[in-house]
Amino acid sequence: MRSVRLGFVLLLSACNAGPSMGRAPDAATPVDAGGAGPGLDAASSVDGGDGVCADVTVELRRVTPTVMFLVDQSLSMENELGATTRWDAVRDALFGTSGVVTELDGLMRFGLALYSDLAGDATCPMIEQAEPVMGDAPGLASLYDGAAPLGETPTGESIDLVAATLPDGGADPVLLVLATDGNPDRCAAPDGHDDTSRRLSVQAVERARARGITTHVIAVGVGTVAASHLAELARAGTGRPDARYWEAGDPAALTAALREAVRGELSCVFELRGRVDPTQACSGTVSLDGSPLACDGGDGFRLPDESHIELTGSACDALLEGGGALDASFPCDALLI
């Protein structure tokens, strides 16, 4: 599994501390994965006593998506997909050597929910779920490995139940990825693969979207879910009339679909606790693993506003592919106090 450094410190420095200030916080002091760490707020007034600005360390928090995989656990998931079953293909696409969770576990908070229904069971929908956290790929894989296909496909009710456990989308995006191999039914009609069940599913996705949760839908197998329904879900889940959905006809296509759906939420944007004048962005120096980045170009960094810094082009690609340490310095007069 790839090792990714999640602590990023932005050192705003070009002025020397006055003699009465003592030692400024060390820019190499670790910051925890949630972005909390030592340092002064950039909005604080720092003066060495002789009117000379001091070095100031502020927090730089990476925008971290939350992704919940909602996987159809119905009995039809035992059907073939290529040389394996649909159920095992989803498992490999998520947790295999090249699985999306395996690759990105240090960059996103991943959760997993498996949904089904058994005729005559008082509990519907039946959900097995692990809440989204960062760095728990083995735990999620263990949950998946302990389950097996059974029962029906109450998709709408399952979306409602699982979405209710997710935070509202905001500064950090929240994504629900639905992987299913059949048209939905519902708790009141376990074999009701009809317009009512489809409408309930679309309405559930719309309710999630109203809370800022984006939904992407992937059909496990080609033709297993009505194309018109997939299109409805995709539009409702993203709010875009041209939203896409995925149909995976083999395991490789399934892995590619999951990767594409999830990687679109990856971010090279970092939130500043404090403010920097965007018009003075190029007065600063930003480096990734010690290599300076160009300012305001297609392959470097920019300040989209006074509270964020963004890596662009090849710099963003390098960060997403390999992680690394991001360091930046700006002259004191670039601070907005």
Extended beta strands in 185-313, E state:
213-220, 246-248, 269-272, 285-288, 291-292, 294-295, 300-305, 308-311
CA–CA separation, 245 and 17 (whole Å) = 56
CA–CA separation, 277 and 4 (whole Å) = 29
Q: Strand 84-85 to strand 80-81: parallel, antiparallel, or no bridges (unpaired)? A: antiparallel
Residue 3 lies in a domain: no
For residues 102-120, give the mean pLDDT: 91
16-28 pLDDT tens trace: 333 322 222 333 3
Residue 274 lies in a domain: no
Looking at the structure of the chain, the number of domains it has is 1
CA–CA separation, 37 and 10 (whole Å) = 11
Confidence at residue 12, expressed as pLDDT on a 0 to 100 scale? 40
In what side-by-side order are the strands of the sheet with 308-311?
8-12, 56-62, 269-272, 308-311, 300-305, 294-295
End-to-end CA distance of the chain: 42
% the chain with pLDDT above 70: 81
pTM listed for this prediction: 0.75
Residue 99 lies in a domain: yes
CA–CA separation, 333 and 159 (whole Å) = 50
CA–CA separation, 8 and 116 (whole Å) = 41
- CATH number of the structural domain spanning residue 118: 3.40.50.410
CA–CA separation, 144 and 139 (whole Å) = 9
For residues 175-181, give the mean pLDDT: 98
Residue 257 lies in a domain: yes
Confidence at residue 36, expressed as pLDDT on a 0 to 100 scale? 33
CA–CA separation, 286 and 292 (whole Å) = 6
Q: Is the pLDDT of residue 13 over 80?
A: no
Q: For residue 108, what are the domain limits?
A: 66-263
179-223 pLDDT tens trace: 999 999 999 998 888 999 999 999 999 999 999 999 999 999 999
Give 323's contacts (C-beta < 8 A, 6+ positions apart): 2, 3, 4, 5, 106, 107
Q: Is the pLDDT of residue 44 over 70?
A: no
Residue 5 lies in a domain: no
Q: Strand 291-292 to strand 294-295: parallel, antiparallel, or no bridges (unpaired)? A: unpaired
Residue 100 lies in a domain: yes
CA–CA separation, 70 and 158 (whole Å) = 8
**235 confidence band (pLDDT: 50, 70, 90):** very high
Confidence at residue 197, expressed as pLDDT on a 0 to 100 scale? 96
